[in-house]
C-alpha cells in the first residue's frame, strides 16, 4: 500500500505523540489568532474558571494565560504532553493558576456550571464538533463562552482528492454555515467565526515539522511505521498547499444561552 493511501488512524498514538512532543504546537494556530478569538469574550475576572481541552503542550494556553485573569486547567489525554505543559507554565511563572491534568474530553472532571470559558484549539475533532459542543455545554455557566477551532470546508464543493482525504481523516468536516448552525442548535449564540490565516498552517505548523521529520527519520532509520508516518504528514502538507482555497481552520466562538423559564 502506498503511504498516501494509509489512514492517520493506522499509526500508533505513542509515535504520533513523540513526533509532536518536539514541536511547540500540535495543530494550526498562532498567538495572534488566540488573542483575536479572546477579543470576543468579555466575562473574565480574577476568579474565573477556564478549561483548555486537548491542550497539548500548551502553546495556546500560555498565550491565553498571559492575557486573561482567572485559573486555567489544561486537559489532555497524553501524560507526556501534560508534563511538558506544566514545565511550560512553570517557565513563565504561571504555575499557580495554570495547571495541566491528564484526562479525556469524553469524561471531563468539572461540575455543572463551573466554567466561565471552554477553550479548545484543533482538538474538538477527537470527540466530534457537534458532540463536543453538546456534551461540554453543561459545564459552562449560563452566559459562559466556548471558543474552538476546527477544520472546515470553505466552499460548497471541492475536488475529489481533498474530499476523500478529509472524509477519511475526519468525516465531521463541514462547511462554516453548517458548523454555525450546529453551534446554535447545541444551545449557544454564535458570537463569531473567522478563518485562520494561512501562516497558522504554513509557518506555525508545517514548516516546523520539516526539521522534525528529518530528525525522526534519522533516529528511526529503517523503521517502516515511522517512514509511513512521515510520508503521511508530508502528504497532508502537500495537500494543504494544493487545496488551501477549499478548506482550513476556523475559529468558532459561542455563548451559552439559557431560555428564561417559562418561555
Ligand atoms: N490545542 C493544542 C493541541 C491540538 S492537537 C494546539 O493547538 O497546539 C489535539 C490534542 O488533543 C492532542 O494534544 C491530543 O493528545 C489531544 N487529545 C486527543 N484525544 C483526546 C481526548 N479524548 N481527550 C483529551 N485530549 C485528547
Domain residue spans of the chain: 26-197+246-256
**Burial (Cβ within 10 Å: 0-12, 13-18, ≥19) of residue 150:** buried
pLDDT tier for residue 5 given thresholds of 50, 70 and 90: low
Backbone angles phi, psi at 206, to 5 degrees: -80, -40
- Ligand 1 atom with least separation from CA of 106: 22
Percentage of the chain beyond pLDDT 70 is 97
For all residues of the chain together, what is the average pLDDT? Answer: 95
Distance 27 CA to ligand 1 centre (A): 9
Specify whether the CB–CB gap between 152 and 173 falls below 8 A: yes
Mutate to test the pocket of ligand 1, among 8, 54, 107, 250 (most ligand atoms within 8 A of CB): 54
- Any atom of ligand 1 within 6 Å of the Cβ of 144: no
Specify whether the CB–CB gap between 152 and 181 falls below 8 A: no
CATH topology of domain 26-197+246-256: Rossmann fold (3.40.50)
Distance 262 CA to ligand 1 centre (A): 39
Taking only the tens place, the pLDDT of each residue in 51-76 is 999 999 999 999 999 999 999 999 99
Q: How far is CA 125 from CA 2, 93, 233, 247, in A?
A: 26, 31, 18, 15
- Any atom of ligand 1 within 6 Å of the Cβ of 213: no
Please give the pLDDT value at position 4: 53
Report pTM. Answer: 0.95
- Ligand 1 atom with least separation from CA of 127: 22
Mutate to test the pocket of ligand 1, among 12, 33, 76 (most ligand atoms within 8 A of CB): 76
Taking only the tens place, the pLDDT of each residue in 164-221 is 999 999 999 999 999 999 999 999 999 999 999 999 999 999 999 999 999 999 999 9
Mutate to test the pocket of ligand 1, among 16, 22, 26 (most ligand atoms within 8 A of CB): 26
- Any atom of ligand 1 within 6 Å of the Cβ of 60: yes
- Mean per-residue pLDDT, 119-125: 98
- Any atom of ligand 1 within 6 Å of the Cβ of 78: yes
CA 108, chain centre distance (Å): 16
- Any atom of ligand 1 within 6 Å of the Cβ of 102: no
- Any atom of ligand 1 within 6 Å of the Cβ of 106: yes
pLDDT tier for residue 13 given thresholds of 50, 70 and 90: confident
Please give the pLDDT value at position 1: 46
Amino acid at each position: 500500500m502506498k503511504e498516501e493511501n494509509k489512514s492517520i488512524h493506522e499509526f500508533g498514538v505513542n509515535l504520533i505523540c513523540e513526533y509532536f512532543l518536539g514541536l511547540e504546537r500540535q495543530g494550526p494556530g498562532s498567538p495572534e489568532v488566540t488573542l483575536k478569538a479572546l477579543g470576543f469574550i468579555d466575562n473574565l475576572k480574577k476568579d474565573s474558571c477556564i478549561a483548555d481541552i486537548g491542550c497539548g503542550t500548551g502553546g495556546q494556553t500560555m498565550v491565553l494565560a498571559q492575557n486573561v485573569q482567572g485559573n486555567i486547567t489544561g486537559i489532555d489525554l497524553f501524560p507526556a504532553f501534560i508534563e511538558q505543559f506544566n514545565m511550560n507554565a512553570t517557565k513563565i511563572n504561571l504555575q499557580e493558576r495554570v495547571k495541566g491534568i491528564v484526562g479525556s474530553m469524553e469524561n471531563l472532571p468539572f461540575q455543572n456550571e463551573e466554567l466561565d470559558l471552554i477553550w479548545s484549539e484543533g482538538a474538538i475533532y477527537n470527540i466530534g464538533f457537534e458532540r463536543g459542543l453538546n456534551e461540554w455545554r453543561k459545564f459552562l455557566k449560563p452566559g459562559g463562552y466556548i471558543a474552538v477551532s476546527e477544520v472546515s470546508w470553505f466552499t460548497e464543493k471541492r475536488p475529489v482528492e481533498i474530499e476523500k482525504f478529509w472524509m477519511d481523516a475526519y468525516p465531521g468536516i463541514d462547511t462554516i454555515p453548517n458548523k454555525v448552525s450546529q453551534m446554535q442548535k447545541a444551545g449557544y449564540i454564535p458570537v463569531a467565526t473567522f478563518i485562520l490565516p494561512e501562516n497558522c498552517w504554513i509557518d506555525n505548523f508545517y514548516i516546523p515539522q520539516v526539521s522534525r521529520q528529518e530528525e525522526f527519520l534519522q533516529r528511526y532509520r529503517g523503521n517502516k511505521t515511522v517512514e509511513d508516518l512521515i510520508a503521511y504528514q508530508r502528504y497532508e502538507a502537500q495537500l494543504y498547499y494544493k487545496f488551501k482555497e477549499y478548506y482550513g481552520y476556523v475559529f468558532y466562538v459561542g455563548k451559552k444561552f439559557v431560555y428564561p423559564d417559562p418561555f
